[in-house]
């Protein structure tokens, strides 16, 4: 699923949970209104069932995503995952009280409140953060002839899809990561060959999208960027599995990268090499040395 779909499901989960808790609180607080008791009780149960099913669906998808990832979780993602998992035993405890231990029925509202608080924390760490960053990341700031310009990167994405596919596949674009200067030079070369393909505004919008989504900051090393480069380029000559199952030290990986570049000098630029080597050193080199250690 796309991140926007995940976020939408998370917000729906939170909304259903809030409705379920609100209904049970109204039910417990209005015992003098017998006409409304059944309505609030059944509405709460229906909302609870929807919450449980949606929660399990999201958990199953996220578990599959976690097990297929080759990178370690960031601190925020780790906290998000642990809080999300904590909700499961609370749901089981709540269902057990309803079905088996009715003497504790009055405490159900406490479990519901705890569950909704944890759900709120989980959703805000993931969907909330994604939504805020998505809204804020629609624009980026670039410099055009020394003047700061606010650029709409969504428009840049549309221009890429409409114009770049006329000369080559879009995969060629999305498989590359470059520094801002490299992307500027790349766009300049394209406009030199085809002056009519992009006007000045479109060129800035395209540059904004490329720098924001496929840009490299040489002053910062990022394992996610390194992995993205590997997944985007290394499959051209061999399977990706060959990389992730190899047992090599950091020095071995450096030699491997240089060997690959000797076969195809255009495969990786210097910035990409640094990011790939950083990823291999931090992620795969550690795995290789651990497997080689006879004490483990």
What tens digit of pLDDT does each residue of 128-137 get?
877 776 665 6
Token pair in block for residue 285:
């080199």
Tell me if 118 sits within 8 A of 126, measured CB to CB: no
Does 70 score more than 70 pLDDT?
no
Tell me what pLDDT residue 129 has. 75
Tell me what pLDDT residue 57 has. 92
Q: Under 8 Å CB-to-CB from 127, ≥6 apart: which residues?
A: 6, 7, 8, 10, 11
Return mean pLDDT, the chain. 81
Q: Quickly tell me which residue has 């990409």 as its tokens.
A: 272
- For residues 116 and 231, the model is more confident at 116
- For residues 112 and 66, the model is more confident at 112
* Reported confidence tier of residue 105, pLDDT bands at 50, 70, 90: confident
pTM for this entry: 0.49
Does 148 score more than 80 pLDDT?
yes
Q: Under 8 Å CB-to-CB from 41, ≥6 apart: which residues?
A: 27
* Reported confidence tier of residue 31, pLDDT bands at 50, 70, 90: low
Q: Quickly tell me which residue has 């609180």 as its tokens.
A: 25
* Main-chain dihedrals φ then ψ at residue 258, nearest 5 degrees: -65, -35
Does 224 score more than 60 pLDDT?
yes
* Reported confidence tier of residue 36, pLDDT bands at 50, 70, 90: low
Tell me what pLDDT residue 32 has. 57
């Amino acid at each position: 699923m796309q991140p926007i779909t995940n976020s939408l499901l998370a917000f729906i989960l939170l909304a259903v949970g809030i409705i379920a808790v609100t209904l049970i609180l109204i039910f417990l607080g209005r015992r003098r209104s017998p006409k409304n008791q059944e309505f609030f009780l059944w509405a709460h149960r229906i909302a609870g069932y929807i919450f449980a099913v949606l929660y399990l669906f999201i958990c199953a998808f996220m578990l599959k995503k976690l097990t297929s990832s080759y990178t370690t979780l960031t601190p925020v993602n780790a906290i998000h995952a642990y809080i999300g998992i904590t909700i499961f035993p609370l749901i089981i405890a709540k269902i057990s009280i309803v079905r088996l231990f009715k003497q504790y029925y009055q405490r159900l509202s406490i479990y519901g409140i705890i569950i909704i608080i944890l759900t709120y924390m989980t959703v805000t760490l993931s969907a909330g953060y994604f939504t805020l960053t998505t809204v804020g990341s629609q624009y980026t700031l670039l410099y055009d002839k020394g003047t700061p310009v606010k650029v709409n990167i969504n428009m840049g994405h549309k221009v890429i899809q409409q114009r770049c596919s006329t000369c080559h596949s879009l995969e060629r674009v999305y498989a590359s990561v470059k520094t801002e200067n490299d992307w500027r030079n790349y766009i300049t070369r394209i406009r030199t060959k085809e002056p009519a393909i992009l006007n000045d505004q479109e060129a800035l919008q395209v540059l904004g999208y490329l720098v924001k989504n496929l840009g490299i900051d040489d002053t910062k090393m990022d394992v996610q960027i390194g992995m993205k480069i590997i997944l985007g380029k290394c499959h051209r000559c061999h399977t990706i599995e060959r990389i992730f199952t190899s047992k090599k030290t950091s020095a071995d990986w450096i030699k491997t990268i240089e060997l690959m570049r000797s076969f195809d000098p255009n495969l990786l630029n210097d910035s990409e090499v640094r990011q790939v080597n950083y990823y291999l050193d931090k992620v795969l080199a550690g795995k290789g040395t651990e497997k080689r250690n006879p004490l483990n």
